Every structure is written in C-alpha cells, then in structure tokens.
Amino acid sequence: MNSEVQVRTTNRTTGDTDAARPAFAGLANALPPHVWFCVSAIFHYLGPAFAVLLFAQVGVLGMAWLRIATAALIFAPLTRPWTVFARADRSARLLLLAFGACLAVMNCSFYLALDRLPISLVAAIEFVGTIGVALVGLRSRRNVAALAIAVAGTLLLIDIKWSSDPVGLFWAFLNGALFVGYIVLGHRIAQSGIGIAGLGTAMAIAFLVVLPIGFDQALPAFSAPQLLIAAIGVGICSSVIPYICDQLAMARLPRASFALMLSLLPLTATLIGVIVLRQVPSLTDCFGIALVVAGVAMHKPAADA
C-alpha cells in the first residue's frame, strides 16, 4: 500500500534528515518476510494463552495493562516515541493516535473474550472481519464465497454460545473489528517509512489509554515477583515479538500475500489452545476451523484487486 505519511528526524552525526529508525531497523532484510510472519504466528496466540493462566491471580484488564505496559517500556528506549511524535506532521500524528487507540482497545477486548470463550473461536471471529472488509472493497464472487465459507465455519464454532455467552461474543466481535484496524493501520505504518519506530510510538499511546483502566487489577503483580516476571513474559510474547515480526513482514509483503498467510493463525490458535490451555476441539470444531482457514486463504484483499 502506498502512503505519503512520513516521520522525519535529524541524524545527530550528519545533520541529515531521514525516516525515524530504531536500533534494529536492519532486521527487516535479515530474514525472508515469510519467516518473520511464521514467528509472529506462533507468538500471536502463545502469549495470550499464557495470559489466560494468570487471569485468576491478575484480573483480565490487569493482564492487558501489564501486557501493554511491558511492550511500551521495552519499545521506549529503542524507538524514542516522544521524539517520533514531536517531529511527526499532523497526518502522521493522527495515524499514530489511531493505531495506539486501536491497540489499547483491541488488547483489552481480546483478553475479555479469552476469559469467556475458547481461543480457537476468538481467533476465528478475528479473521471473518478481514474478509468482510475485502468484500466491501472488492465485490467479487470469490470474496462472497470466501466470506460465506468463513462465516459458516464460525457459526459451527459458535454453536450454542449465542445464547449461553453473548457478552463473550460481544468482546470477540469487537476484537475482530479492531483486528481489521490493526491490519490496515499496521500496513500504513510499516510502508510509510515510520516502521517499528511508529509501532513503539503507538504502543506508548496505547499505554496512556489503558493507564487508568487496568492499573488497580495489575497491582497484585507488583507485590509478587514471580507473578510480575510471568506477566512481563506474557507482554514480550504477546506485544513485542509478534508486533515487531508483523512490521518486518508487512514492510516487504504485499497485502494479498500477508492476507493469505493470515489463514495460518486460526490453526495456530487451535494448536496452542490444545497444548497450553487443554482446550481440545470437537470434530465439529475442527471442521469449523478448517472452513475459516479456507475462507481466509481464498479471499482477495481489495487493495490488491
């Protein structure tokens, strides 16, 4: 995707202006983009699965707070978000604010959904939205079929939860809608010259958004060193490793290729749910997951029409 949004900083040694870059900007070309995506696919649900195990000791929103706080503190010295935001133009600032708010609310709704629903179902709902957006931008028979297949798979996964847990489904669908925003805004960030510096800035903004929301639930972690270390590990696995890998992959992959690879994530979520959370899917669930994967794999993003 082409974008004219750029953030420029002054090079301290030469005095030249250039796009803001963190210390590890050269990583993008160190490995093929597909490798970065595969790493992201593993950690995208591995960290949240471990977070579910901590919900009983640290509240759901407390874990979301600790996850975002950890990522913001790790990114801060590497990306200098205060500098990036101060030197950004108005359009770039709006993009960063939107991305930061999206990350904050998405992470909170994601954890609220995981507290009530299986991780495989939450993952499936995440990706129905990406196909729906593609259908709005490109009304082809292929996208209609892809959406129909993915929705059928999701309905099989939802089963009786329409009536048994509507609150959990609300959070899951909100997370799915915001995941679409994450993909769209993330691509703009990755391909606009801001890159990981923009991600770090957005994460700092996300932390400011959640600062008053989950702090009281996060307090028990500060009096239990082992719990705090575990929460920090969740933050690294959930918001540092996968988000960096996504940026490195998005910077070099066309949106169509990235969207195709997203089809791996519902399967990854299911496997992690089995291994970490002992959430063993039924045969019907497996068929539903297969339909979601097929729908995501066959849809064509509007940007690449």
DSSP string, 228-242: HHHHHHHHIIIIIHH
Weakest mean pLDDT among 18-27, 182-191, 257-266: 18-27
- The answer to whether 168 and 161 have CB atoms below 8 angstroms apart is yes
Q: Compute the average pLDDT of residues 19-41.
A: 67
CA pair distance 13, 30, nearest whole angstrom: 25
Output the CA torsion 55→56→62→66 (10° steps).
-60
Name the residue among 66, 69, 15, 36 with its Cα closest to residue 196: 36
Quick check: 283 pLDDT over 90? no
Q: Compute the average pLDDT of residues 194-210.
A: 91
Weakest mean pLDDT among 9-18, 76-85, 253-262: 9-18
Q: Compute the average pLDDT of residues 182-204.
A: 85
CA pair distance 149, 293, nearest whole angstrom: 9
CA pair distance 175, 105, nearest whole angstrom: 8
Residue 7: pLDDT band (50, 70, 90) is very low
Name the residue among 90, 83, 94 with its Cα closest to residue 22: 83
Q: Going by C-beta distance under 8 Å and a sequence separation of 6 or more, which residues neighbour residue 282?
A: none
Number of helices (H) and strands (E) in the chain: give both, helices first: 14, 2
pTM: 0.79
Q: Supply the pLDDT for residue 150.
A: 77
CA pair distance 170, 177, nearest whole angstrom: 11
CA pair distance 32, 274, nearest whole angstrom: 29
Q: Supply the pLDDT for residue 8.
A: 40
CA pair distance 109, 173, nearest whole angstrom: 9
Q: What are the phi and psi torsion angles at 30 (to 5°)?
A: -70, -30
Distance separating the N- and C-terminal Cα atoms of the chain: 12
Ranked by mean pLDDT, the top range of 6-10, 262-266, 282-286 is 282-286
- pLDDT tens track for 124-160: 888 777 666 666 656 677 777 877 887 787 777 776 5
Q: What is residue 17's DSSP assignment?
A: E
Long-range contacts of 235-238 (CB under 8 A, 24+ apart): 235/47, 235/66, 235/67, 235/68, 235/69, 235/70, 235/71, 235/74, 236/47, 236/70, 236/71, 236/74, 237/43, 237/46, 237/47, 237/50, 238/43, 238/44, 238/47, 238/48, 238/51, 238/67, 238/71, 238/107
Quick check: 16 pLDDT over 90? no
Q: Supply the pLDDT for residue 160.
A: 55
Q: Supply the pLDDT for residue 23.
A: 45
CA pair distance 157, 6, nearest whole angstrom: 42
Weakest mean pLDDT among 102-106, 144-148, 201-205: 144-148
Q: Compute the average pLDDT of residues 260-287.
A: 82
> Is 9 in a helix, a strand, or coil?
strand
Residue 63: pLDDT band (50, 70, 90) is very high
